[in-house]
Each structure stands twice: as structure tokens, then as C-alpha cells.
Chain A
Amino acid sequence: MFKNKKLLVLLSMVLVFALFAVGCSQPADDTATPGTDDTNEPADEVTVKEELIVGQGADAVTLDPHSTNDQPSSRVSKQIYETLVAQNENMEIEPSLAESWESIDDTTVEFKLKQGVKFHNGEELKASDVKFTILRALDSSHIGHIVGQIDGEKIEVIDDYTIRLSTKEPFAPLLAHLAHTAMAIMNEKAVTEGGEDYGQNPVGTGPFKFNNWVIGDSIELVKFDEYHGEPAKLKKVTFRNIAENTTRTIELETGGIDIAYDIPPTDVSRVEENSDLVLQRAPSFSTSYIGFNAQKKPYDDVRVRQAINYAIDMASIIEAVYQGVGAPAKGPLGPNVFAGHQGLEEYGFNVEKAKELMADAGYADGFDTTIWTNENQQRMDIAEIVQNQLKAININTEVKVMEWGAYLEGTAAGEHDMFILGWVTVTGDPDYGLYALFHSSQFGTGGNRTFWSNDRVDELLDAARVETDPSKREEYYLEAQEIIRDEAPWVFTWIGENLAGVQKNVKGFTQHPAGHHSLHGVYFE
């Protein structure tokens, strides 16, 4: 009897809970559907589509450019904000919010701002906004390093449309750094009023303004009518978060989205062969590498690092994992980055040589180690093949797949042995692609997660940073790359490629090598 009573109580509780859950899910569904339905349905009535849906692999973290430095966020921010100067697809510096600029001396540049530029909140762009933005950026732990060379105390507002920026010492790639999406100019009033929620209510000067964000699902932008340049052709842009690669391709195939970013290698031929779709391939600034924690035994021994370089058959790995997408990396920089050394001597696949080096280093019997990677399918695949190939030189490897946040934290703290990571040389300048990764001042969060340093490389990177003569800079960078190759803190792995799947009727879409593609000129046919 008692038992049954208990059962009855339990059952009624389950029932109440079920009703409650059903009741709760209703309103949530209601708010979610209009966002997506609106973009699909009315489009059929208009002759030319004006609403674009883009699918990418992750949701933005925040739309406050100073609170993050990740690709999914900057891909959205790029449409909302603009920078003082911009870099086009060929990485040439172009005027954007600054009409013109001139060097006053070695360390100072004067910018003339375009007049009549309106923020999405109706405010006009003034030099004070630029100053406010840069000072705020300097305080950011996420992107501070991008503007770190600018001297915050010496920012001089001449008048409403003129501003002077000074660097602490001559800094050759200043303009390229100012073109970084993280250097988006923000409105002082909007940021102050927005407070902690600013990242969910961004205000920029770009061709699209922020409209709605269903966290984890989609971000909706609408055309900004008072845009200072040529108005956008699209009325609305929706970024959808479709994490699973295969699902993103299927959504593209079935017409659920118009553009899919980052088509996985396995789906390349599928998109190519589909007559309704176009696969857009474009060079990218991203590279992947396998790094060693050079402060930890046994990786403090250059012979061990070289032995592993010899023991890995990288050409076949890249072929198997990326299936013709991108290319095997020949050095730390890709061929499209200035001074990217493509003629470095390759280690090649040579197990005998690797065994010799291991024996020389006193590890003929090998050792146990771990290789870290994040949940990136291709990187996990590489790790698994490397694990297998290293058995030939008696290295017993454990693959550790980690969540992105924990991965970055752990590698910054130096807890790792080997790791697979990537880097995007956003500015297209070798300073961005080498300084953070190989300079001894950048250990840990700065970007040098191998904790490897070399006095000569430090010297060269410092010298090239302040040098203004391009041919001298090239010389310094080439020498630094030679040393990096010989000292082997990395196994050079892969040069990325931008792959976007696009519906046939989408026109005017081009990919930016840094990965944050502008949708300003996109239209439907």
C-alpha cells in the first residue's frame, strides 16, 4: 500500500514536471521561429532575394571587438564595424574611416577622418571616438597585443576629424595592425551606455547594423540606411551557428543557407559536383603546426625535436587528412605572407635518421609523451596518425583531446608536451606571424606556446619590427625562419585554404585571406 502511494506521488510529480517542461518549451519555440522563418518565407514573394543566410561552425562569443579575438565573432563584427584603414583581399591598405594619413615622423602618423560618418545609433564619428576606442583596446587582455605598440598617452586629437597616433618606437606594420578587425572603431556613447551588455548590443559604422541575437543559434543583421559609403545590396544578413561540418554542407545542399563557411575536406567534391552550388577556394593566412614544449624534457633537446620531424611523414598525413585542401607547410609562414620563406630545406620522412638522432640524444628506447589537440576533426586525425608513426622511434604517445578554453589555458601554462595548433597571420605581415609565436617575450598567452627562444631570433624579430626598409626586413625574417627550421620548435604542418560553399545565385562574395569575409558587396541574381 505504502509503496503504491509513493509510486503515485512519484508519477504525479513526473506528470507535473512533464507539463511544466512542455509549457516552458512553448514560448521558447515561439521566439525562436520568427527569427528564422522571417528570413525564409517573405523571400519567396520578392523576385530578387535580399536576405542572405550564412552558416558557420560556431556562434560569436561577443560582438564587442575588445572582448575576444576569435574568428566566428570577427566574421560577424566585420559587417557591423569599420576600421581606420582596411586591407582588401590582396592585403593592400585602403582608406576606410580615415580618408587619408601621413607620417609626421618615424613614430607618428596623422589620420584625417571621413566627415559625415554616422554610427548606427545616429551619433557622428569624431576623432574622440577613435581615441576612446584605442585607449579601450590597450586595456584589453584579448587584443591588447595588437595595439600594444601605440603609446596611449601620446594620442593627440587635433580637431574633430584629425587625430595623431604615436608608437613607442618605429613600428613598420602599424597600418596593417589598425586594419585588424579587433581595431574596429566604436562609439564612446554607445559603449558607455551599453555597459556590460555592449557585446550583445554593438554599435558600429558598417553597412549592416545589429538587429537580433538568439544565443547559440543565430545573429541577425539588417541594412544600415545611413551608411556613409555605397549602401549594402542586401536587406538582411543572418549568421547561423551550425557546428557539425556535415550538417552545414547538407543545409547548403538543401538550400537552408546561402553561404557555408569552412567546407570540410570530406565534402569538397560533393559541393563541387553539385550544379546548384559553387565552391569558392581562396588563399588563407592560416597555418597549422605541431609544437614541442621546449622547456620540458625531452623536448629541450634539439635532437629530439629534429628526430620527430624526421619520423613524421607529413606529406602523406596532409594528403590523407586534408585530401587536397590547402598545402603542406614549408615554413612558419605561408607563401602569401610577405617574406614567407618557401625554400627551407625539408626534413623529409627518414626513420633511420630519426632513430640515430634519438640514440644520440640518449633516447634510443624512446619515452612516453602526450600530444594535445582541440576538438578539430582534422587536428585529431593528424594526432592519431602522428601517434602511430612515432611508435617507429619508440615514442609512446597519448592523444589528449581538449576543450578549446582548457586547451588554450593549459598550453599557455606550459603543462603540455606536444600540441597541434594553428595561427592566422591576420595582418599578412610577418611580424604578426612570427613575433608572437617565436619571440621570448611572448611565452604563454602571448602566443609562444612552445616556450622556445633563441637570442638571434629575438634580435632579428626586434630589428625587423622597427626597420622601415622592406628589403632589410625581408632579410631579417628570412634568417629568422632558417633558424626556426634548424632548431625545430615546430613540425611545419599545413597551410590553410578558405573554402566556402555558395549558392549559384549569390554574387559578389569574395573571401578574405584572414578569414573575415565582407558581405558588403554580396547580392542575389
Chain B
Amino acid sequence: MSNVKTASQNPQSQVASNGTKKKRGPWREVWRRMKKNKAAMVGLLIILILILSAIFADVIAPYGYDEQSLVDRLQTPNSKHLLGTDNFGRDIFSRIIYGSRISLQVGFIAVGIAAILGGTLGAIAGYYGGKLDNVIMRCIDILLAIPGILLAIAIVATLGPGLRNVMIAVGIGSIPSYARIVRASVLSLRDQEFIEAARAVGANDFRIITKHIIPNSMAPIIVQATLGVANAILSAAGLSFLGLGIQPPTPEWGAMLSNARHYLRDYPHIATFPGLAIMITIFGLNLLGDGLRDALDPRLKS
């Protein structure tokens, strides 16, 4: 559906890609439109804060993420421990800060895996069409028939728990959506004049796909990826909550939540803060994703 919107934008961005100076044009336009969207800016701000805290975790966090102090365990928020301590006496604030690293890593790498694999499959299917298209897309349909989280659980159960396997599992689980989006874009692009022109000049399939088709179908992928990061973080947290994800003492938010549930009735703060961290992050990513979708839609251009 979104491919319809982007299709009309293509000729113009194609023109842009011919001259380097003009290339920035459409993106600047997108930025201009997004700036007007307050919600999207809030989302962007949240994500920026998240990225910064992930980069500078060592500086921001007052304690190490696995620094235990059994004497200080189960403290409620106080001046020494901003968000209190968990059942091992670890500083929850520090763990949440370090946890942002894990979450972003999982989010981006899983989406990267999904976008690259799914995008490639979708592009091949859409570009060549026919039998190949049918085979690939039916395989994608099979993947789609299994709920994403279930597929991820099955993959992690096979590969064993751990950060790397969680990223692979979540990545594979979201391949279908990228494959479908890219295929849809490619289908609408492949018979456009500029592609025919490229072919007439003698460009091979690889060049046409990578240089002409992919750049022109970026918009829906970017939107999907932004929302996909949110999904990936949530899935990873879910897997860790079930004990299938990141292993201790790594401060993954879902694992922190899972661990805190035993103390929920007496020390709710242990569960509250990682839960809030997940919630705010997902909220931010969703706002940003929605904002991007609106900004990238040329029909809203004023």
C-alpha cells in the first residue's frame, strides 16, 4: 500500500541521484516536514538520549552494571542509588543505562539482518518475477504464517540463548515484512522509464537493483525499520523475560523485569524502572516512525 505513495516520488529522486549537489534535496525536504511534527521530534529526542546514554554509559552510570553489594540490596530510590537497588544490591539506574546498549544493539542489528536478508529476497522476487518470485514469496508466506515471537523462541531454543542468537532469531522473525515491502516497491518501479533507460544504457541487473531500484524504495524501508527496531527491542525483552534471551549478569531490560517479578509485591520499583525504560523507548521509536512515514509521504507535501 505504501508503495503507491512512494512510486510517484521516484522520478524526482531519480533526477536527484544524477547530480550530487541536488541529492540532499529530498532529504532536506523530509527533515523540513518532520520538524513541524512535534510528536516526531519528541520521539527523535528520546532516541537521541537513548543513543547518547548507550555511547556514554561508562561516564553516566555511577556504578558498574554487575557491581554487587549484598548489604545494600533491595533499596528503594535514594540519593546514593537514584532508582534503588535490586536483589543483589546492584544499582538499577546504572543497569538501565548499560541496558540501553544491549537494547539498541539488539534493535539495530536484528533489523539490519531482517532488512538486508528480507530486502534482498524481496528485491530479487520483485525484479525477476515469475517462478522465482512465486517460490521466494511462498517461502516468505510460510514464515509469515508463524507468529514472529514463536518463530524467535523456536530459533533461540535451537541455537541456545545469548545475545547473538537473540539478534539472529529476532532478525529472522521479521524478514517477511521487509521482503514484502521491498518486493512491492520493486514491482512498481521495475517498469518505470528510468529503469528502462538504465537497461538501455547496458546496466546489468545487479547494478539496476542496487543503484536504481533500492535507493528509490528506501522510504518505506526506513519507516518499517524504525518501527522494526521497536519491535525487535520488545521481542528481545520478551525472550529475555522468558529466560531464553540475554544471560546474566548482562543488564537487559527484559531480563531485569523477569528477575524483578519475584519482588513485585514488596519492591515494585525493581520492576517499574526497567519497564518504564522499555515503554519510553518503544514510544519514542513509534513516534519517530510515524513522523517519518508522514514526512516521507509526498502527498502531504505543502
Contacts and interface: CB of A to CB of B under 8 A. Distances in A.
Interface of A: 245-246, 264, 266, 270, 316-317, 319-320, 375, 377, 380-381, 383-385, 387-388, 398-401
B297 interface: no
A318 B88 CA distance: 12
Given A320-B88, A399-B247, A400-B247, A245 B262 contact: yes
Contacts of B68: 385, 388
B249 A384 contact: yes
A375 B243 contact: yes
B263 interface: yes
Given A266-B262, A401-B161, 19 more contacts: A245-B262, A246-B261, A246-B262, A246-B264, A246-B265, A264-B262, A270-B265, A316-B71, A320-B88, A377-B262, A380-B248, A381-B88, A383-B248, A384-B248, A385-B88, A387-B248, A388-B68, A388-B249, A400-B247
B86 to A, nearest CB: 10
B144 to A, nearest CB: 10
A4 B285 CA distance: 31
A316 B262 contact: no
A246 B70 CA distance: 22
Contacts, number: 46
A89 to B, nearest CB: 30
B70 A387 contact: no
Contacts of A320: 70, 73, 87-89
A319 B70 CA distance: 9
A316 B249 contact: no
23 contacts: A245-B262, A246-B261, A246-B262, A266-B262, A266-B266, A270-B265, A270-B266, A320-B70, A320-B87, A320-B89, A375-B243, A377-B262, A384-B249, A385-B68, A387-B248, A388-B68, A398-B247, A399-B247, A399-B249, A400-B247, A401-B161, A401-B243, A401-B247
Contacts of B265: 246, 270
Nearest to A319: B70
Interface string B258-302: 000111111000000000000000000000000000000000000
Contacts of A375: 243
B66 interface: yes
B70 A317 contact: yes
Contacts of A400: 247
B87 to A, nearest CB: 7
Nearest to B243: A401
Nearest to B261: A246
A246 B249 CA distance: 23
A214 to B, nearest CB: 24
Nearest to A244: B261
B263 A266 contact: yes
A266 B262 CA distance: 7
A11 to B, nearest CB: 14
Interface in B235-268: 243, 247-249, 261-266
Most buried by A among B71, B87, B243, B264: B87
Nearest to A245: B262
Nearest to B162: A398
Contacts of B266: 266, 270
Contacts of A383: 248
Contacts of A316: 70-71
Contacts of A384: 88, 248-249
Nearest to B68: A388
A387 B261 CA distance: 22
B251 to A, nearest CB: 12
A68 B248 CA distance: 32
Contact of A381 (B87, B161, B264): B87
Contacts of B243: 375, 401
B69 to A, nearest CB: 10
A270 B264 CA distance: 13
A332 to B, nearest CB: 25
Interface string B162-183: 0000000000000000000000
A405 B30 CA distance: 55
Contacts of A245: 262
Contacts of A381: 87-88
Contacts of B88: 320, 381, 384-385, 388
A399 B264 CA distance: 24
A504 to B, nearest CB: 21
Given A320-B88, A401-B247, A388 B262 contact: no
Nearest to A391: B66
Contacts of A398: 247
Contacts of A377: 262
Contacts of A246: 261-262, 264-265
A320 B68 CA distance: 11
A385 B262 CA distance: 17
A144 to B, nearest CB: 32
Contacts of B249: 384, 387-388, 399
The 5 closest A-B pairs by CB, nearest first: A320-B70, A388-B68, A384-B248, A316-B70, A399-B248
B113 to A, nearest CB: 24
A154 B206 CA distance: 82
Nearest to B66: A388
A245 B266 CA distance: 14
Most buried by B among A316, A375, A383, A388: A388
A388 B262 CA distance: 21
A317 B87 CA distance: 11
B13 to A, nearest CB: 25
Contacts of A270: 265-266
B295 to A, nearest CB: 26
Contacts of B262: 245-246, 264, 266, 377
B32 to A, nearest CB: 34
A177 to B, nearest CB: 37
Given A266-B262, A266-B266, A270-B265, A385 B248 contact: no
